[in-house]
Structure formats: C-alpha cells, structure tokens
A and B are shown apart, each in its own frame.
Chain A
Amino acid sequence: QSVLTQPPSVSGAPGQRVTISCTGSSSNIGASDHVHWYQQVPGTAPKLLIYEIINRPSGVPDRFSGSKSGTSASLAITGLQAEDEADYYCQSHDISLNAYVFGSGTKVTVL
C-alpha cells in the first residue's frame, strides 16, 4: 500500500486536458518541494517527466505541467496525444520513513 495515493486510471480524448492527483501527507508532499513525476510505457524504464514540483527536463513537452498544494500534487497534460498513453507515477521523500516513496500509479488512456 503506497503512502502516495493516485487514481488508478484517467482517460481523455485527443486534444483534451487531463489531471492526475497525488495525495500524500505532512510527512512527504506536505514537507517537501522534492516532488517528481515519471512516465512509464509498459515494458520500458520510467522516464523523468517533472522534477521539483514544476520543472521539466530538456525534451519534455510543455504540455506537461506540475503543481502542488498542501499535501497533494498534480500533473496536468494538456492537448492529450496518443503517445501520452502510459503509466504515470509521482514521487516524494517521506521524513517518517526516511525513504523516497512512489505513488500507486495512474494509467492514462487516450480514447
């Protein structure tokens, strides 16, 4: 059972906007700016998508954006494309566990 909770799935039509929530606590997201997001196409390694809440690594389209409020973080995908169909994971550091933790993962389906 992950300490960071994500919806199991979200879906949207091409061109639409979808958001993925990541709900934590005062021990992790609420205590840290070190919130990151990863994209994983099944059968491949995860790819860093967003780091430190809002930053995109070079090469990541600006259709992807991150935010945080209190003990929750969110990933938004605007202008949804077929290639965005993948699993998405949030990550933070948990001070109680003294370990990095990943969210439960969200499968994005493009209708």
Chain B
Amino acid sequence: EVELVESGGGLVQPGGSLRLSCAVSGFTFSGSWLAWVRQAPGQGLEWLANINQDGSVKNYVASVKGRFTISRDNAKNSLYLQMSSLKSEDTAVYFCTRDRAAGTHDYWGQGTLVTVSS
C-alpha cells in the first residue's frame, strides 16, 4: 500500500522558518520524481516545486524561489521542504506528491497545515 505522510507543520511567525518532511512507502522512492503542492484555506491548488530521482534537478514556482528548498534522502525514503522568510500568504496545507511523469501527480499525502501568523 502506498503511503505518503507529511509532518512538520505548525504555527510560525512571519519571517520564520520551518522544515516539512514526507515519509514515503509503497513505491520505488529512489526511482520517482517528487513534488510539493499547497492549498491555502478555501483556495485552489498551487504547485510549488519538484525534484528528480537523485536530487540533481529541482524546479520551483516563482513565488517561493529563493525562500523554499526541496530536497530528498533516498536512504530514508523521505522528501523535505525547507521554508524560510515565511509570509502570511504561505499559510496553507502542504501536500507531498509523486510526479509519475510530466506533472502527473498520482500519489498524495494527507497534507500538513502551516500557519504563518504573529
């Protein structure tokens, strides 16, 4: 059974940092592109970043480039999102996903809520 379990969300002050983790099981982690997608309260989905199988290729949406860093540890079957200089508009549920090919997100975690507020 495929499982993606995000953790690390919570309340953080504007300008602060947070690291999200995603523990994966049930498919070949080291053979898969992975991605982060977020959803602000009551809003739509926003693709944030993806990373290739060995971590050598990373892509970001403009709104988080330079502030967020996606990474992975194939030995631990884990995906990460380091977030810094957080703003109130970063408040959202953050999902980790598998990108099967060309943006086809076939597996999703349940999401972790990040709230940026003073």
Could you tell me if B104 and A102 are in contact, using CB atoms closer than 8 angstroms? no
Could you tell me if A57 and B106 are in contact, using CB atoms closer than 8 angstroms? yes
CB within 8 A of A46: which of B59, B62, B102, B105? B105
Could you tell me if B45 and A99 are in contact, using CB atoms closer than 8 angstroms? no
User: B109 at the A/B interface (Cβ < 8 Å)?
Assistant: yes
Could you tell me if A97 and B44 are in contact, using CB atoms closer than 8 angstroms? no
Chain A residues lying within 8 Å of B50, measured Cβ to Cβ, are 100
Interface centre among B35, B47, B62, B95 (most CB of A within 10 A): B47
Chain A residues lying within 8 Å of B104, measured Cβ to Cβ, are 34, 36, 48, 51-52
What's the dominant secondary structure at chain B's contact region? strand
Chain B residues lying within 8 Å of A105, measured Cβ to Cβ, are 44-45
* Interface bits A83-107 vs B (CB < 8 Å: 1, else 0): 0000001011100011111111100
Could you tell me if A100 and B103 are in contact, using CB atoms closer than 8 angstroms? yes
Chain B residues lying within 8 Å of A104, measured Cβ to Cβ, are 44
Min C-beta distance of B88 to chain A, whole Å: 18
Enumerate chain B interface residues (CB-CB to A < 8 A).
Answer: 35, 37, 44-47, 50, 59-62, 95, 100, 102-106, 108-111
User: What 7 additional pairs, Cβ within 8 angstroms, besides A36-B103, A46-B37?
Assistant: A36-B105, A40-B45, A51-B104, A52-B104, A89-B44, A91-B103, A103-B44
